[in-house]
Amino acid sequence: DTAVSQTPKYLVTQMGNDKSIKCEQNLGHDTMYWYKQDSKKFLKIMFSYNNKELIINETVPNRFSPKSPDKAHLNLHINSLELGDSAVYFCASSPQVIAETQYFGPGTRLLVL
């Protein structure tokens, strides 16, 4: 069974469009995350979220917004896509206990044309 899943795995779209990436975890974790991996493979946190708190990396444009319909899901919405948004986006989750490891989804490769 997949622990952290993301859909779609690949997303090709035009500049200016709005798109969403879905993330689901079946691990019962309390905290979920979105990371961005750029063309040089550098990974950077975008958001971390649990039931109580959304923490946003201040460098993330407000065109990006996480939405959590329930504890098992944290979707990423992106408005007015730009060429520079092309990257691989990873969802991750971890239990509330801080010592626990984060588990990553398979990633979504976004290409903005």
Partner 1 sequence: AQTVTQSQPEMSVQEAETVTLSCTYDTSESDYYLFWYKQPPSRQMILVIRQEAYKQQNATENRFSVNFQKAAKSFSLKISDSQLGDAAMYFCAYRSFSGSARQLTFGSGTQLTVLP
- Provide the H-helix boundaries in the chain: none
30 backbone dihedrals φ, ψ, rounded to 5°: -100, -20
Q: Considering the complex, state which of residue 33 and residue 64 has its C-beta at the smaller distance from partner 1.
A: 33
The set of residues, in sequence order, having a beta carbon less than 8 Å from that of 16 and lying 6+ positions away, is: 80, 81
Stretch that binds partner 1, among 14-22, 61-69, 77-85, 100-108 (CB under 8 A): 100-108
Q: Considering the complex, state which of residue 53 and residue 70 has its C-beta at the smaller distance from partner 1.
A: 53
The secondary element (H helix, E strand) that includes residue 30 is none
The secondary element (H helix, E strand) that includes residue 18 is none
42 binds partner 1, rule: CB under 8 A: yes
Please select the residue that binds partner 1; options are 14, 28, 39, 53, rule is CB under 8 A. 53
Tokens at 19, concatenated: 């798109």
Number of shown-chain residues binding partner 1 (CB under 8 A): 26
Residues near partner 1, by CB under 8 A: 31, 33, 35, 40-45, 48, 53, 55, 57, 88, 90, 92, 94, 98-99, 101-104, 106-107, 109
